[in-house]
């Protein structure tokens, strides 16, 4: 996905980037992978609901702010050249909350790169369970509540998206390009990319 990001945006030192959804975890290889790979960390501002202050020590010049779920981001409209958010939108609640989240990302960025797991991938990313997440939501959540994955049965913790439902979260005036990232030929992740304003640089 990072290769897709760099191909689409061609990062330079002049671009300001907001990463929405960094984590306190530094154990897993994929945790905060954007900060590990981006060549200009001093141009990154990142926010998260967890403590991400360790990132300021790891990457010179990077800025971190802690935010609360559901609140407006503390930035002006179009404050950043690019907003990046990896696998966060599926954790913010129901479709209305997800649409508000996406609208807020589009508000603060001139361009965006937002990812989420594909609901139609055969193995659900968070539980590792196969196929069960293809059931109707009510039935799926009922099954999970009877297992040790009960945490993921709650909509505010996990509300998966298809390509169509993902695209439907965006404001009417924003037209995202939806790309599919594949594993063994099957779409495992969805990426929405695009711009929110008519800017000659975009």
Largest separation between any pair of C-alpha atoms in the chain: 53
Name the fold adopted by 2-119+160-195. Answer: Rossmann fold (3.40.50)
| Per-residue model confidence (pLDDT) at position 199 | 63
Determine the Cα–Cα distance for residues 160 and 94; give it in Å rounded to an integer: 10
- Report the candidate in 35, 29, 75 with the shortest Cα–Cα distance to residue 53: 35
| Per-residue model confidence (pLDDT) at position 159 | 98
CB hemisphere CA count around 74 (13 angstroms): 10
Contact 17, 44 (CB under 8 A): yes
Determine the Cα–Cα distance for residues 83 and 113; give it in Å rounded to an integer: 6
Q: What is the pLDDT along the chain (202 residues), one digit of tens a residue?
A: 999 999 999 999 999 999 999 999 877 778 899 999 999 999 999 999 999 999 999 999 999 999 998 899 999 999 999 999 999 999 999 999 999 999 999 999 999 999 999 999 999 999 999 999 999 999 999 999 999 999 999 999 999 999 999 999 999 999 999 999 999 999 999 999 999 987 655 4
For the chain, domain boundaries: 2-119+160-195, 122-157
| Per-residue model confidence (pLDDT) at position 54 | 94
Instruction: Output the pTM of the full model.
Output: 0.95
């Amino acid at each position: 996905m990072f290769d897709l990001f760099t191909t689409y945006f061609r990062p330079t030192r002049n671009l300001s980037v907001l990463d929405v959804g960094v984590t306190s975890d530094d154990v897993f290889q994929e945790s905060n992978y954007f900060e590990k790979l981006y060549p200009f960390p001093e141009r990154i501002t990142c926010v998260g609901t967890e403590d991400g202050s360790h990132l300021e020590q790891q990457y010179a010049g990077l800025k971190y702010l802690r935010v609360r779920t559901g609140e407006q981001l503390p930035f002006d409209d179009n404050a950043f050249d690019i907003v990046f958010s990896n696998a966060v939108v599926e954790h913010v609640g129901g479709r209305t909350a997800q649409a508000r989240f996406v609208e807020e990302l589009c508000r603060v960025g001139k361009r965006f790169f937002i990812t989420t797991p594909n609901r139609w991938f055969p193995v659900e990313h968070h539980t590792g369970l196969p196929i069960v997440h293809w059931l109707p939501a009510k039935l799926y959540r009922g099954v999970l509540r009877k297992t040790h994955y009960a945490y993921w049965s709650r909509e505010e913790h996990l509300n998966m998206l298809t390509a169509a439902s993902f695209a439907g979260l965006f404001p009417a005036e924003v037209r995202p390009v939806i790309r599919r990232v594949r594993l063994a030929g099957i779409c495992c992740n969805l990426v929405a990319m695009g711009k929110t304003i008519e800017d000659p640089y975009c």
